[in-house]
Structure 1
């Protein structure tokens, strides 16, 4: 791994921490807050690719585990990872990897702007929403002792905001990749 890769991994871990400066929004019917940090997994994957994106989120999760208050609301520590939100926080690593994997395969040389944004949006939605929910919802159900169906129903409230985050991440990734390509487009 090159020094450039290490710097990008650390930079995106810091970006996820900065996204945590926005206060969490609690909904009351599910013990998981709305935060901007899930968008960090989408950004890391779609801009850095699968490997570096996942490593950036792994670094961030290690900072959380070490007790640094880098989560939204100034939270951190092993107790947070063992709580209801732990599955989503740990899921960011896989979400970044899936987003990056799909983005690496969806970006093509000579692709138009709309097609590239649509491909990035699809990658962000699949990795940052579907994958993240697949990891986080069973964790909430297990830790909170709530039926998975109730957790899934309660999670529907997060979908519109997560779709907006996926769109914002896709637009940001398109802008960054246009000026500073970090993903290597794959041949069809």
Structure 2
């Protein structure tokens, strides 16, 4: 890993921390607040690629696990990971990886020859499927298990987050597309 890779990992870990400390919005019917953390997951995947995005999110979670108050509401530690939001946090790992993998795979299939609109559409798809849906696949069953709620009710309860996640995916896709146009080498990350 180069010093440039380490710098990018640290940058996106820090960016995710900044998104997390923006005050969370409590949501009715579900013990999981609305945060901007998944925007960090999406951006890391789109800009860094699967491997570096995974490392960046792992670093973020380790920082939280050892006790630094980098989770929404200034929380940290093992108890948070064992609670209702723990599955969503763990979902950041495959979420960042899948987002990055999908964005890179789309670029490989197009052999780098795509318009800005095509890049945006690929980035948007990767953000929704990787940065949101993949996180839900881990987080929702965890939420159901921890809160002793039927899975179907947990799915309905988190549906309130979907519009916000689509907005975050649109922002991530726009930013990553713009970065790819300004710095084409950024699209070559592993």
TM range (shorter): over 0.9
2:116–2:181: 8 Å Cα contact kept in structure 1? no
> Counterpart of 1:6?
6
Deviation at 1:110, TM superposition (A): 2.5
Structure 1 spans left out of the alignment, 5+ residues: none
> Counterpart of 1:182?
186
Whether 1:158 aligns to 2:154 is no
Which has the larger helix fraction? 2
> Counterpart of 2:19?
19
CA distance in 2, matches of 1:120, 1:106: 9
> Counterpart of 1:173?
176
> Counterpart of 1:144?
147
Task: Give the aligned CA root-mean-square deviation in angstroms.
Answer: 1.1
> Counterpart of 2:106?
106
> Counterpart of 1:54?
54
CA distance in 2, matches of 1:84, 1:184: 36
CA distance in 2, matches of 1:53, 1:76: 21
TM-score relative to the length of structure 2: 0.94
CA distance in 2, matches of 1:145, 1:114: 44
> Counterpart of 1:88?
88
Deviation at 1:6, TM superposition (A): 1.0
CA distance in 2, matches of 1:147, 1:134: 15
Question: SS in structure 1 opposite 2:120?
Answer: helix
> Counterpart of 1:29?
29
